[in-house]
C-alpha cells in the first residue's frame, strides 16, 4: 500500500476529472489544429497507465525520444496546471483575490495609480470579509509602495491610516503565526510518538505548551487565532489523554465555523478536521449516541457542493467518515457488521492510496484488525497487523507497539504456543526499546508468561486475578493509553464468559443506553 505512484505528472493526470481532461485538450489545441501534439500524445499514454513505467511509455509514444521525454513531461505538467487555472471557481476566495491583485498590478504598470488603488480597496474589503490576513498584508504593502512613490492625493491622512492598518494586520498575523506553530508542533509530536507514554512525556509536553502559548491568545478576536488556539488545545489534551478537554476544544473548533459560516467554503479542510476530532472525542468518551448523530451530520455534509467539487475534500471526508463509522461499530460491539466495510475500505485505499498519508493507512489497518479480533477472526486480524509490523513508516511508535501486542494476543487465541515464547520476548524488547511499557502492559506480559505453566483448568481464575489487578489502573492517566488502544478488560471478560469480545461490548453499550 505504501508503494505509491512516484511520478508527479502521472499523479496529477490521475487526479483529473473527465471535464478537466476535456478542458485540457481544448486548452492545448486552442492555437493548433494538429492531432499529433507531443504533449497530448504523452497525456493520453499516461492517462492509460496505472503505474509509471518509462520503458512502456516510450514504446507507446514512438514519436518521443528518450532524450525529449523529460522536457515534454515538464511542458505537459505546466500545460495541465495552466488549463486548470482557466476553470473559474466563483467560490474560491484565493483565486478571486489573486485575480484582483493581478488587475491592480496591470493598472499600476499602465501608470493608472488611482484605478489600481480602487481595485486594492475592493481587494481589502473581500480579504477582510474572509479574514485573509496575509492577503491584507500584500495589499497594504502595495498601497504603501504606490503612496510613497507617487502623489496620488487619494485621501487625507493616508499615511496615518495605512500605518495603523499595517500595525493591526501585523499584530494579528503574529498571533496567528505563534498559534499555528504551536498547533503544528503538538500535532507533529503526536504523529511521531502517539499519546504521552510516561511522566517525563507529560512534563515535557506541558512545559512546551505553557512556554509557547501567548498570554493574550485566549482573548484573540480573529477567526484564525481562535481556530489555531482550539487546535493547539485539542492536541495538547489528546496527547495527555484528557478526553473531556479534547471533546471541549474539538467542539469549540467546530463552533468557530458555526459562528463564521462564510469561512466554511474558505477553510473546508480545517472544518473537516475539526469534525473528525469531535467524532473521535465522542468515541474516546464512549458516547455512541452523540457519535451516531455526528456521523449523520457529517454524512449530509459529505454530499454538499463544497465537498463534491474538490478531490482533496472528498478524500478527507471519506477517510474521516469511515473512520467514525468503524469507531461506532467498536462502541456498539457490532464487529461483524463492521467487517462488511472492509472490501470498500480496501478499494478506497487502492483508489486513493497516493493521496493518503502513511499514518492514516496504518490507522485503518489497526482498526480493521481490531474488528476481526473482536469477532474472533484472529487469522484475519493477524494479516492486517502484519501490514503495520512490516511497514517502513517511521511514525506512530505507539501504534507499532500495540499492533505487536494485539498480534501476540491473537496468536495466543489461536493456540500457536510454539510461537508465543519467541513473540513475548520480541514484543517486550520492542516496547521496552520504544520506552512504551506501562504497568498495564507489564501485567499482561507477566500473565502470558504464567499461562505457559498453568493448566487450562486453572486459567479462568488467572483471568479473574488479572482483571482485578488491571481495574486499579483504569482511572490513571498514565495508563489510559493501554485501555484506549486495546480493550484488555473486555478481552479478559470474554475469556471468563466464553463469548467473543463483541458480545461483551454489546452488553456494555446496551447498559449505557438503558
By the 10 Å C-beta count (0-12 exposed, 13-18 middle, 19+ buried), 384 is classed as: buried
Residue 262 lies in a domain: no
By the 10 Å C-beta count (0-12 exposed, 13-18 middle, 19+ buried), 382 is classed as: buried
Is the pLDDT assigned to residue 387 strictly greater than 80?
Answer: yes
Report CA-CA distances (Å) from 28 to 14, 48, 49, 324.
18, 19, 21, 43
Q: Could you tell me if 214 and 178 are in contact, meaning their C-beta atoms sit under 8 angstroms apart?
A: yes
**Whether 75 and 98 share a structural domain:** no
Q: Could you tell me if 183 and 232 are in contact, meaning their C-beta atoms sit under 8 angstroms apart?
A: yes
The backbone torsions φ and ψ at residue 88, rounded to the nearest 5 degrees and listed phi first, read: -75, 130
Given 85, 104, 123, the domain boundary residue is 85
Residue 77 lies in a domain: yes
What is the predicted pLDDT for the residue at 342? Answer: 93
Is the pLDDT assigned to residue 1 strictly greater than 60?
Answer: no
Residue 307 lies in a domain: no
Question: Which residue is listed with cell 471533546?
Answer: 247
pLDDT grade, residue 283 (50/70/90)?
very high
**Whether 126 and 103 share a structural domain:** yes
**Whether 107 and 61 share a structural domain:** no
Q: Which parts of 142-290 are beta strand (E)? A: none
Return the top range by mean pLDDT from 36-40, 69-73, 83-87, 271-275: 271-275
What is the predicted pLDDT for the residue at 35? Answer: 47
**Whether 68 and 106 share a structural domain:** no
Distance separating alpha carbons of residues 333 and 339, to the nearest angstrom: 12
What is the predicted pLDDT for the residue at 292? Answer: 96
CA 471 to the chain's CA centroid: 33
pLDDT in tens, 127-152: 998 989 899 999 999 988 888 777 65
pLDDT in tens, 232-279: 999 999 999 899 999 999 999 999 999 999 999 889 999 999 999 999
Is the pLDDT assigned to residue 99 strictly greater than 70?
Answer: yes
What is the predicted pLDDT for the residue at 453? Answer: 64
Given 54, 85, 116, the domain boundary residue is 85
State the cell numbers at 212. 509557547
What is the predicted pLDDT for the residue at 449? Answer: 79
Q: What is the DSSP letter of 30?
A: G
Angle, CA of 238, 242 and 248, to the nearest 5°: 80
| Least confident window among 292-296, 381-385, 399-403 | 399-403
**Whether 98 and 62 share a structural domain:** no
Q: Could you tell me if 393 and 362 are in contact, meaning their C-beta atoms sit under 8 angstroms apart?
A: yes
Distance separating alpha carbons of residues 410 and 404, to the nearest angstrom: 10
Q: What is the DSSP letter of 130?
A: T
What is the predicted pLDDT for the residue at 211? Answer: 94
What is the predicted pLDDT for the residue at 253? Answer: 97
Report CA-CA distances (Å) from 433 to 21, 308, 334, 426, 429.
51, 45, 35, 11, 6
Reference 2, options 344, 313, 356; nearest CA is 356
**How many domains in the chain?**
2
**Whether 105 and 66 share a structural domain:** no
Given 135, 155, 175, the domain boundary residue is 155
**Whether 51 and 17 share a structural domain:** yes
Residue, of 470 and 212, whose pLDDT is higher: 212
Give percent of the chain above pLDDT 70.
91
Residue 149 lies in a domain: yes
Residue 314 lies in a domain: no
Terminal C-alpha separation, the chain: 43
Residue 414 lies in a domain: no
Angle, CA of 492, 493 and 498, to the nearest 5°: 100
**Whether 130 and 107 share a structural domain:** yes
Residue 335 lies in a domain: no
Q: Could you tell me if 279 and 331 are in contact, meaning their C-beta atoms sit under 8 angstroms apart?
A: no
What is the predicted pLDDT for the residue at 152? Answer: 57
**What DSSP string describes 332-366?**
HT-HHHHGGGHHHHHHHHHHSTTTS-HHHHHHHHH
**Residues of the domain holding 15:** 8-85
Distance separating alpha carbons of residues 18 and 314, to the nearest angstrom: 16
**Whether 25 and 58 share a structural domain:** yes
- 311-332 and 501-513 helices cross at what angle (nearest 10)? 90
Distance separating alpha carbons of residues 170 and 192, to the nearest angstrom: 32
Q: What is the DSSP letter of 188?
A: H
pLDDT in tens, 391-437: 876 666 778 888 888 898 899 889 888 888 888 888 888 878 766 67
3-state helix, strand, coil in the chain (%, to 5): 80, 0, 20
Residue 240 lies in a domain: no
Q: Is 282 helix (H, G, I), strand (E, B) or coil?
A: helix
Q: Could you tell me if 116 and 107 are in contact, meaning their C-beta atoms sit under 8 angstroms apart?
A: yes
Tally of residues, the chain: 514
**Whether 81 and 98 share a structural domain:** no
Q: Which long-range contacts (CB under 8 A, 24 or more apart) does 9-12 make?
A: 9/46, 9/73, 9/76, 9/77, 9/80, 10/46, 10/49, 10/52, 11/354, 12/77, 12/80, 12/81
Q: Could you tell me if 333 and 506 are in contact, meaning their C-beta atoms sit under 8 angstroms apart?
A: yes
Distance separating alpha carbons of residues 301 and 308, to the nearest angstrom: 10
**Whether 73 and 102 share a structural domain:** no
Q: Side-chain half-sphere of 172: how many Cα atoms within 13 Å?
A: 20
What is the predicted pLDDT for the residue at 3? Answer: 42
**Whether 81 and 15 share a structural domain:** yes
Q: Is 126 helix (H, G, I), strand (E, B) or coil?
A: helix
Q: What is the DSSP letter of 31?
A: G
Amino acid at each position: 500500500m505504501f508503494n505509491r505512484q512516484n511520478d508527479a505528472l502521472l499523479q496529477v493526470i490521475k487526479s483529473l476529472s473527465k471535464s478537466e481532461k476535456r478542458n485540457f485538450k481544448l486548452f492545448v489545441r486552442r492555437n493548433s489544429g494538429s492531432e499529433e501534439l507531443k504533449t497530448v500524445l504523452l497525456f493520453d499514454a499516461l492517462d492509460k497507465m496505472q503505474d509509471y513505467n518509462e520503458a512502456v511509455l516510450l514504446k507507446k509514444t514512438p514519436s518521443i525520444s528518450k532524450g525529449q521525454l523529460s522536457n515534454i513531461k515538464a511542458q505537459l505538467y505546466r500545460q495541465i496546471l495552466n488549463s486548470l487555472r482557466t476553470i473559474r471557481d466563483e467560490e474560491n476566495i484565493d483565486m478571486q483575490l489573486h485575480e484582483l491583485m493581478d488587475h491592480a498590478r496591470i493598472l499600476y504598470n499602465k501608470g493608472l495609480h488611482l484605478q489600481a488603488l480602487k481595485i486594492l480597496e475592493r481587494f481589502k474589503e473581500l480579504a477582510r470579509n474572509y479574514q485573509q490576513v496575509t492577503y491584507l498584508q500584500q495589499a497594504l504593502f502595495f498601497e504603501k509602495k504606490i503612496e510613497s512613490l507617487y502623489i496620488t492625493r487619494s485621501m487625507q491622512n493616508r499615511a496615518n491610516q495605512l500605518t495603523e492598518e499595517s500595525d493591526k494586520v501585523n499584530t494579528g498575523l503574529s498571533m496567528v503565526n505563534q498559534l499555528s506553530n504551536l498547533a503544528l508542533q503538538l500535532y507533529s509530536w503526536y504523529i511521531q510518538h502517539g499519546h504521552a507514554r510516561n511522566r517525563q512525556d507529560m512534563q515535557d509536553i506541558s512545559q512546551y505548551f505553557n512556554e509557547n502559548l501567548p498570554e493574550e491568545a485566549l482573548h484573540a478576536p480573529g477567526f484564525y487565532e481562535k481556530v489555531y488556539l482550539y487546535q493547539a488545545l485539542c492536541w495538547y489534551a489528546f496527547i495527555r489523554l484528557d478526553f473531556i478537554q479534547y471533546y471541549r476544544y474539538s467542539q469549540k473548533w467546530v463552533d468557530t465555523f458555526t459562528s463564521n459560516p462564510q469561512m466554511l467554503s474558505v477553510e473546508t479542510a480545517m472544518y473537516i478536521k475539526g469534525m473528525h476530532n469531535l467524532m473521535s472525542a465522542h468515541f474516546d468518551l464512549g458516547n455512541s449516541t452523540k457519535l451516531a448523530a455526528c456521523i449523520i451530520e457529517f454524512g449530509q455534509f459529505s454530499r454538499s457542493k463544497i465537498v463534491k467539487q474538490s478531490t482533496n475534500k472528498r478524500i478527507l471526508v471519506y477517510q474521516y467518515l469511515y473512520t467514525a463509522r468503524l469507531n461506532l461499530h467498536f462502541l456498539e460491539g457490532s464487529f461483524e457488521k463492521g467487517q462488511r466495510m472492509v472490501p470498500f475500505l480496501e478499494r478506497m485505499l487502492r483508489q486513493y492510496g497516493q493521496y493518503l498519508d502513511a499514518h492514516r493507512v496504518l490507522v485503518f489497518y489497526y482498526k480493521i484488525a481490531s474488528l476481526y479480533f473482536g469477532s474472533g477472526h484472529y487469522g484475519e486480524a493477524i494479516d492486517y497487523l502484519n501490514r503495520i509490523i512490516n511497514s517502513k513508516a517511521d511514525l506512530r511508535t505507539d501504534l507499532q507497539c500495540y499492533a505487536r501486542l494485539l498480534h501476540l494476543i491473537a496468536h495466543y487465541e489461536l493456540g500457536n504456543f510454539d510461537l508465543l515464547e519467541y513473540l513475548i520476548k520480541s514484543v517486550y524488547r520492542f516496547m521496552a526499546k520504544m520506552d512504551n511499557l506501562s504497568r498495564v502492559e507489564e501485567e499482561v506480559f507477566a500473565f502470558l508468561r504464567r499461562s505457559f505453566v498453568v493448566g487450562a483448568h486453572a486459567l479462568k481464575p488467572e483471568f479473574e486475578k488479572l482483571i482485578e489487578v488491571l481495574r486499579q489502573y483504569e482511572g490513571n492517566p498514565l495508563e489510559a493509553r493501554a485501555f484506549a488502544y486495546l480493550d484488555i478488560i473486555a478481552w479478559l471478560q470474554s475469556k471468563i464468559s466464553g463469548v467473543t469480545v463483541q458480545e461483551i461490548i454489546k452488553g456494555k453499550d446496551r447498559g449505557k443506553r438503558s
